[in-house]
Structures are given as structure tokens and as C-alpha cells.
Amino acid sequence: MSQHRSSGNQRAVRDVVFVDGVRTPFGRAGEKGIYAGMRADDLAVKCIRELMRRNPELPADRIDEVAVAATTQTGDQGLTIGRTAALLAGLPRTVPGFAIDRMCAGAMTAVTTTAGGIAFGAYDVVIAGGVEHMGNHPMGEGADPNPRFMSERLVDPAALNMGNTAENLHDRFPAITKNRADAYAMASQHKLQAAYGTGEIQRDLVPVATMKPGQGWTVNTADEPPRPGTTLEDLAALKTPFRAHGRVTAGNAAGLNDGATAALLASSDTAAELGLSVKMRLVSYAYAGVEPEVMGIGPVPSTEKALAKAGLTIGDIGLFEINEAFAVQVLSFLDHFGIADDDPRVNRYGGAIAVGHPLASSGIRLMTQLARQFEEDPTVRYGITAMCVGLGMGATVIWENPHHADYSGTDIETAGAVA
């Protein structure tokens, strides 16, 4: 998104920058998970408050919008959660908010939707986020699919079960074997463990205190789902719940998780005015639809669209943050673009197979991790955040690294110190 100055009735299109991003530690859904008994909206509130704490240069009354995504918009994830979370977080009552849903790409859509408003000039600063408490709201709870889906065979029944769509993807690409998926999953666990070892993950986690009867208070400062000692032998022994003798298991897929994320976005000129950090510049984004029966292939066409809009090729991308709903979904993306399974540009800190995937919240986790990698590696100019989306969609956002020598946005020295 290039910046064009204009006068009169012509509207300026402004650069959009990613100022900061945070998330709660992700928990395992269910009675034994760290967030059992906790409200989803309170998780979102934790993230909003932490963003404000980390960015004291930002006056709360300068926030123009709060967009919070949730896939199941009922109960503690309902009631226009963007507005309710803003009020609960203590933002001024003049700050509006709304809810958004694009299933797994909810937080990503919250970012791109509000970014469009910034570029257009409707907003200067926004908070975009996502939350999913899958313990309180199991996937598909309360859903009532139109019977026409089945009676008119609009989609295969398998399309309504994400695990079945992953098995279908294995069918379509027989070169992606179970052994290959397991090897990818094990690598994800090990990469996350290494990132924890160097402190890369902890820098953007919001500590969350929880209270459980008989146990008292616990301050949660780390993700619950990871299994760092995972071996190929462990993975090979797991059952294939979606199909007898199948290839998708609990080990090579993301689990059921609870968690929240939030990001602060601004126009580049507002960031410079307020002295806010600039961690990334939004270059382009795209969404695409695919056959619901193989929804995992969605990031392929969405990435092709986003690259075309940006005038880039896959060879221009130096870092990839791809959501790991299933190993086969990531591997199909890599195969399409001719990228090796162990390419060091891909998910350097590990992915959702290890850290978890609380549906609507995950898009901002990808962005936060990419921003940290940009900071570490100024030789990389462009990076991608991408994910597959339930019911047959893909989502991709391309970002530019402000630390790169050829950065085309506002000089970061004039836009505030990078946090």
C-alpha cells in the first residue's frame, strides 16, 4: 500500500503499519486446561490491556476502532465482543468496536478489515484481535448447517469436518505420506522448543492468572499444548480418528485450544506523530475460495493473488508464517511453490501443531512471530502470513520488513523506536 499525497476532494491512500502484537499463552481446551472456568472475553481483555501497557505513547482516546474475531459468537464470545472487550479493558467509552467471523482467519480478517479503514483514512489507530475458548465453545457448537448442503449435494459431507478435509488432501497429493506429515510435525515441536529456549516466544506473551478450586491461583506464562520431546515413534503410534488406516492424527494436526491475541495497527504518519514502533508494513492481502472438501489447499490461491497484487513472486518472500492446522495443509503449500519441507524460511519458531490453534485468534500469532523474525533478520525484505480457513478458503497477508535496507515505507527512525 503506497502512500499518495493529494489535495482537494481526492482522498489519500495511506501506508498501514503493524505497531505491536501480543497473545495469551495458549491452553488445551477442556476441564483440565489452564483456562477451564475462565471467560473468553476476559482473555481478549488481557491482550488489549497489555497492548496499552506496552505502548504508553498512545493515548487511549486516539484508538478509532476495536475489532475482535470469534468463530462461535455466543455466550462469553458474543454480544459484539469487540465493543464489550473494549469497555471491559477500560478504553474510553467513545471507542467503538465490533465482532468479526471468518472461522480460523478471524483475527487475520480483523487486521485486514481495519487496515483498509486506515488506508482509506477512516481510522488512524485500531486494535484488532481474536479469541477462541474451545473449552467453553466446542467447534461447531450450536451450528445449524442448512439442509440444502446435503440434500442438494452442494458440498461433500466431509467438508463439515476439518479432519476429513485433511484426509481428502492426502488423497489428492499421495506424495504427502503420513511419515512425511509426522516428520514435519516433529520438526514443529522442536522448533518451538528452540524458540522458547532463546526467549523468542515469551517476549509477546501476556501472563494470565487463573484460579481453580482446591489449587488456588496460578500465573500462566507459557503455552500448554507443546510436547517438546515428541519423536517419530510417538507419532507413528497414534490413532487416525477420521479414517481407518488414515494419515491425520492428533500429532500431525493442531489441537483444540483456548487463547486470545491482539494487535495494534496505525497509519505510518500517525505512528510517526505519536512515536509508535513500526514492526511491519502491510504490502497486500488476499482471500480465496476453494473446494470445501479440500479446504487446506486454500493458502495456495490466496498467496498467488496476494503476490500478484503486490507485484512480487514467491522468490521475493524471505519468511513464511503458515498456520499449521494440519501438516498436510502446509506441505501441500510448500510442494506447490517448490519449497522444501525443512526450508529455514518456514515457521522458524514452530507452528500451530506445537503451540496450538485457538481458531479465530491464530492469525495475529503468525503476525507477531513474523515481526520478531523481521527484527532478528534485516536481510529479509518481505514475509507472508497465511492460513487455510474452514468451508474452503485461504487467507494471505504480505508484509515488509522496516529493518531492511530497501524498506519502501516511512523511515523507522522517524516513526519511533522499534520495540
Q: Which of 133, 137, 357, 403 is catalytic?
A: 357
Query: HSE-up of 243 (CA within 13 Å, CB side)?
Result: 17
Q: Which pLDDT does position 8 carry in this prediction? A: 52
Q: Which of 47, 104, 133, 403 is catalytic?
A: 104
Q: How confident is the model at residue 187 (pLDDT cuts 50, 70, 90)?
A: very high
Q: What is the pTM of this model?
A: 0.94
Contact between 267 and 17 under an 8 Å Cβ cutoff? The reply is: yes
Q: Which pLDDT does position 411 carry in this prediction? A: 61
Strand pairing category for 65-69 and 97-100 = parallel
Q: Which pLDDT does position 161 carry in this prediction? A: 86
Q: Which pLDDT does position 120 carry in this prediction? A: 95
Q: How confident is the model at residue 78 (pLDDT cuts 50, 70, 90)?
A: very high
- pLDDT per position as a tens digit, 12-33: 789 999 999 999 999 999 999 9
Contact between 253 and 351 under an 8 Å Cβ cutoff? The reply is: no
Nearest to 372 by CA among 20, 13, 11: 20
Q: Specify the residue for cell string 488406516.
A: 245
Q: Which pLDDT does position 168 carry in this prediction? A: 95
Q: Who contacts 96 (Cβ-Cβ below 8 Å, separation ≥6)?
A: 64, 65, 66, 83, 86
Q: Is 47 a catalytic residue?
A: no
Identity (one letter) of the amino acid at 217? W
The more confidently predicted of residues 147 and 297 is 297
What torsion, rounded to 10 degrees, do the Cα atoms 364, 366, 369, 372 define? Answer: -70
The Cα angle at residue 344 between residues 338 and 346, in degrees rounded to 5: 65
Give the three cell numbers for residue 243.
Answer: 479414517
Nearest to 25 by CA among 209, 202, 223, 211: 223
Give the three cell numbers for residue 66.
Answer: 476495536
Question: What is the mean pLDDT of the segment spanning 159-188?
Answer: 95
Burial readout 188-210 (b: 16 or more C-beta within 10 A, e: otherwise): bbebbbebbeeebbeebbbebeb
- Percent composition of the chain: helix, strand, coil (DSSP 3-state, to 5): 35, 20, 40
Q: Specify the residue for cell string 475460495.
A: 289
